[in-house]
Each structure stands twice: as C-alpha cells, then as structure tokens.
Amino acid sequence: MLDDGIELARLVPTGELDELVGAIARALGGELAIFDLGGVRLAGSVSAAAPRRVLAHDGVPLAHIAATGPAADASLTLCAEALDLLVHHAHARELAAATHEEAMRLTFAELTEHNARLQRAVARLEELDRLKSNFLATMSHELRTPLTSVIGYAEMMAEGLAGPISSEQRDYLTTILGKADQLLGLITAVLDVSSLESGQLALERATLSLNDLVASELATFAPAAGRRGISIQLEACGDAIVVGDRRKIRQVVSSLVSNAVKFTPDRGKVGVALRRGPLAAHGPGSGDDATPAIQLVVTDSGIGISRDLVAKIFEPFFQVDSSSTRAFGGTGLGLTLAKAYVEAHGGQIWVDTAPGQGSTFTATFPLPPAVPAAAAEGSGAHGAPA
C-alpha cells in the first residue's frame, strides 16, 4: 500500500481485472475501463471523452474507472463493488502470507537457538566423557601399581620366603591371591576400555597358532568347570594360524569361554571349535562376507539371551541380569573388549542365541596373506553381526 493510494496492479492480477471488465460489459453493454491512480489503463477500453470516477477502498484512493453506454452508471457501481471485494480479498491474502512468514521466521529463530543449545550440550558431554576416560585411565594405572606389590608379597609369603607358614595361612594367602587377581583383571579391563574410548588401542602383531593359544587358555578353566560338572570340548582346526596380538586374542577366548561356563547350569556342556569359515555372519554370498577366515566358535547349553538384548550385551557395563553377576562375578566389560579386539584384528563377532536354548558366540580372524584360502569350508553359523 502506498501512502497516497493503493497500488491496484500489485494487489489484483491483470487477468482478473480483464475478466471483471469483460463480464460487466457483456452483462450491461457499453464500454468500461479501469485505470491506476497514475492514469495508466489496467483493463478494458473506453473512449477518451468518458468521465472518470475515482474509487476508494476504506477511504484510500484505489483506481479510476470510466464507462459509456446506456447502463454506464450501473456498470460503474457494479465495477466499484467488485473491485472493493477483490481488493479486500487481496489484503486478506497478503495479511495471511505475512503472518505465515513471521511465524516461520520465529520458528527458524527458535530452531537456531535450540540448535546452538544442543551443540553446547554435546560439547560439554564430550568434554565430560574425555575427563571420565582420563580419570578411569589414571585411576586404573594408580591402582595397579600397589596391587602388583600386594600380589608379589603374598606370593613370596606363600612360597615361604618370609619363613614357614601353616596350612591355614596358606589357604588365606590363596584367597588373597585369587581376589587380588580378580581385582587386577577388573582394573586391567577398565584401563583397556578407557584406552579404547580414547582411541589408543594398539595391537602387537605376531604369528600365532590359535590351536595352541585356545588349548592353553582352556586349561585354566578346566578345574572350575570340572567342579560344576561342566565338560569343555575342544575341536581344533588343522591349520589355525593368524597374525595378531597374543594377549588380546587370549582375552577374547577367555571372555567367551568364561561367559559360556558362567551362564551354563551345572553338568552342562561347553564346546570350543576352531574352523575355517567366512569372516562375516551371513556366510559366503557377497563381497567381504565370503572372505575366508579362522572362526572361534564357543557354544554353551546355558540360559541364552533374548533377541532384544543381543545387541546390548556388547555395550560397556551392560549385563542382562545383575543377580547372576552377584552369583558369578563379572563386569559387563568382557564382550565390549572382545568385540573391540576382534574388530581391531579385522574380524567380526556375533551370537546365535535364544532364551533357554544356549548361545553360540563366533569370533572371526582373517587368514594371514601367506595362508592359502582354498581349503576354506563353511561353518554353518549364521547369526546377527554384533
């Protein structure tokens, strides 16, 4: 809207003005034309001599109109009313558009502010997470040093280096050493998780026989499993050579086997097999899935895991049921570390399980380049990748 009048051409499209003028001329005969306030003809035609009438909308000048013919007055009245209506609608449309635009502008401003708040919160959380990882790493390190001394002195006493000890004292020392070892394992796991979180996972690389490594690790579980009547069967593989970090692969084996034993009822069965098979869960078929690898398959006849919790068990500190932890111990870190270590070696880890049906965990390790892949066989394990 201009100060000195309404700009009709801007508000009402010329096509609509043409239609209006045409309809009135057809209905009433004669000529009719609409001009803007500057005298420019916007629609219709009329002889130059025809008198022009000024139209206003809400008291503000809007246009000039002129008509000739027997019904000139009626044409002008009709045209004036119709234009009033058109301008009224056009104003309503403009107002709605302006309101909408303002609402959008406000929403955008709110979103921008919201976004900035979220970014600040994320930055703060990242900072807290970094501080937490640093704290865990420092604390674990500081706890390990005195604990190593406790273990060392207890071992020396158990060996009689500080003088003869009674059988009761030996029992106490055995308990001290067992609990100190457990604590050391926990501290080492926390330290490993914090080094994972800070992206400092470093691998040593040596050529290893998984047959030997798994067999020696299983020997450490045999006494405890035997006391509960759980048998552990090992199915070795002809040629299970991989290149990797001995301590970390040993830890993968230890986590999977200790869970299998822990979550299997007395007199149950645990099977550990090494075999050639695909690197990924879905077996041969496409791309990398078919890459031949060594599979470490740990099967138990234990309590199993429900489908909706399967993805969570690989998250740090997650335990399906904390009451079993109170009974058997555990940190909820074993599978997190196992997954990270397996993946750092280029392998994958997944589980096939159902409640009450036992579980089969499969961890894969790529074959070293020098080992021919031609002998690879399928393993039949088809679970969801972790």
Q: Interface residues with ligand ADP (CB under 6 A)?
A: 255, 259-260, 263, 300, 302-305, 313, 318-321, 325, 330-336, 359
Give 309's DSSP letter: G
Nearest to ligand ADP of 263, 341 (CB atom): 263
Strand order in the sheet with 31-35: 41-45, 31-35, 60-68, 52-57
What is the closest distance, in whole angstroms, from the C-beta atom of residue 254 to ligand ADP in the complex? 10
Q: Which is nearer to ligand ADP, 237 or 260 (CB)?
A: 260
Separation CA 245–CA 346 (nearest Å): 12
Least separation in angstroms between residue 307's CB and ligand ADP is 13
CB of 261 to ligand ADP, least distance (A): 9
CB of 298 to ligand ADP, least distance (A): 8
Q: In the bound complex, what is the minimum distance in angstroms from residue 292's beta carbon to ligand ADP? A: 26
Longest pairwise C-alpha distance within the chain: 138
Alpha-carbon distance of 69 to 75, in angstroms, equals 9
Report strand pairing: 206-209 vs 231-235.
Answer: unpaired
CB 301 within 8 A of CB 262: no
Strands 231-235 and 269-278: what pairing?
A: parallel
DSSP for residue 289: G
Q: How far is the CB of 327 from ligand ADP (least distance, A)?
A: 11
What's the CA gap between 82 and 74, in Å, rounded? Answer: 12
Sheet of 384-385: strands edge to edge?
231-235, 269-278, 292-300, 359-366, 349-353, 384-385
Q: How far apart are CA 149 and CA 347, in angstroms?
A: 37
Phi, psi (deg, nearest 5) at residue 269: -130, 140
> 292 or 302: whose CB is closer to ligand ADP?
302
Q: Closest CB to ligand ADP among 302 and 347?
A: 302
Minimal distance in Å, beta carbon 303 to ligand ADP?
5
Angstrom distances, CA of residue 311 to CA of 94, 289, 316, 346, 383:
55, 20, 12, 20, 12
* Closest to ligand ADP by CB, 90 or 351: 351
- Beta carbon nearer to ligand ADP, 44 or 334: 334
User: What is the closest distance, in whole angstroms, from the C-beta atom of residue 326 to ligand ADP in the complex?
Assistant: 11
Other CB atoms within a 10 A radius of the CB of residue 362 amount to: 29
Helix (H, G, I), strand (E, B) or coil at 41: strand
User: Is the CB of 295 or the CB of 359 nearer to ligand ADP?
Assistant: 359
Measured from the CB atom, the residue of 229 and 356 that comes closer to ligand ADP is 356
